[in-house]
Amino acid sequence: MPYFLDGNNLIGHARATARPSDEDRQSLVSEIAQRLRRTRAQAVLFFDGPGEKRTALGNLSIREAGPRGADEAILREIGRTRTPREVVVVTADRDLARSSRDAGAKSLSPDEFWSRFGLSTRAESPGDAPKVDVEDWLKYFGDEKNREG
């Protein structure tokens, strides 16, 4: 099931900004790529942009939508697919979500998308793991009652 992500909308939803910077875009690309890395899910991330550039990063494709904008590019892509009912559009834009459903796709809010794909691997790095009290560990495993067989 491919996910079509409304990139500028996702950034605006998370950071409350109407005009995301290149850094905001790169951060979103990195976050989504990290989250998709552990799945078989395919996603296409659409950005509003001046050109019609395409890039692939594993399970994630990135597209600049050109002068018509990401919403129009997403709807056009839904129309091109053989199985629109398998497409999930991720956006907080109610009009785009409704138009996507009218075209046969499903829609998902950004919050639902983020919870569906869990924490990124960056958030699961060893530096974020709970601290272990070595003294307690030695005491526990030093006690004969806590040893098997």
Strand, helix or coil for residue 130: coil
Residue 127: per-residue pLDDT: 46
Give the residue among 91, 18, 29 at the shortest CA–CA distance from 64: 29
Give yes or no for a contact between 103 and 84, defined as CB atoms under 8 angstroms apart.
yes
Tens place of pLDDT per residue across the chain (149 aa): 799 999 999 998 877 776 778 888 888 998 899 888 888 899 999 998 877 678 888 899 999 988 889 999 999 999 999 999 999 999 999 999 999 999 999 999 999 999 988 755 444 444 444 455 566 556 656 667 655 55
Query: What residues have CB less than 8 Å from 74, skipping those under 6 apart?
Result: 4, 6, 46, 89, 91, 96, 100
Residue at token pair 């040893």 = 147
Strand, helix or coil for residue 135: helix
The structure tokens listed for 127 are 């530096």
Q: Beta strands 60-64 and 54-57: pairing type?
A: antiparallel
Q: In the CATH scheme, what is the code of domain 2-124? A: 3.40.50
* CA atoms within a 13 Å half-sphere pointing along the CA-CB vector of 49: 19
Hey, where are the domains in the chain? 2-124
pTM of the model: 0.76
